[in-house]
Amino acid sequence: MGKSYERIDGRLRTFIETQHIFFTATAPLDGEGTVNLSPKGLDGSFAVLDEHTVAYLDFAGSNAETIAHLRENGRITLMWCAFDGPPNIVRVHGRGEPVFRDDARWAALLAHFPDIDPTRHGLRAVVVVRAEKIRDTCGYGVPFMTYDEDRTLHGSRFARESDASLDAYFHAKEHVATSIDGLPGLPLPLPPLPSG
């Protein structure tokens, strides 16, 4: 049976902070628009900011659907599944906002991710989500799977990029500045990573 929670704390917080992967779901307001579902990994790239707010690092990729949907309407659902231990699924439904490199909040938000080197992975935004509804369900149908380690391919691919070459990469991708449905995506030109 599902249960609702008023805040992210205790057992619930411990559960989501120890998962190696979570999923984000967003959609445009247009009922004919493309629903987006994305896996998010890399240990250390997710943080609970307070009992009602979480954040994760948004890295370089070949599209920016989540950013586009958040810029349009802010709706987002995050989901974690237990792939080991007792079965459990946790969903945080809320409102999200991409915070970009040139935002005054950037440095304070990055402080919540001490194990991540911001010069790797083509870091382009910190997504901050304010929870409106927090629920868990049984997860009886989720299979057991073992975590071996994070893949190193993303880091090795994007660590060699400068701010200028990363900006060129994003300009060359069809669905980074504009979403699949034509919504504004990642604002370009990409601001440089703030130093220190």
Where helices occur in the chain by DSSP H, the ranges are: 10-18, 65-72, 106-110, 153-158, 163-172
Question: Which pair of tokens denotes residue 70?
Answer: 């958040």
Q: Give pLDDT tens digits for 133-178.
A: 999 999 999 999 999 999 999 999 999 999 999 999 999 999 999 9
**Does the pLDDT of residue 196 top 70, yes or no?**
no
The bridge status of strand 75-81 relative to strand 53-58 is unpaired
Nearest to 59 by CA among 16, 20, 101: 101
**pLDDT tens digit sequence for 64-113:** 999 999 999 999 999 999 999 999 999 999 999 999 999 999 999 999 99
Give the tokens for residue 75: 């709706």
Task: Tell me the pLDDT band of 1, cut-offs 50, 70 and 90.
Answer: low
Mean pLDDT confidence for 174-184: 96
- Per residue in 28-48, pLDDT (tens digit) is 999 999 999 999 999 999 999
pLDDT band at 115 (very low <50, low <70, confident <90, very high): very high
Per-residue pLDDT at 38: 96
**How big is the CA angle at 70 (ends 62 and 90), to the nearest 5 degrees?**
95
Q: Rounded to an integer, what distance in angstroms lies between the CA atom of residue 16 and that of residue 8?
A: 9
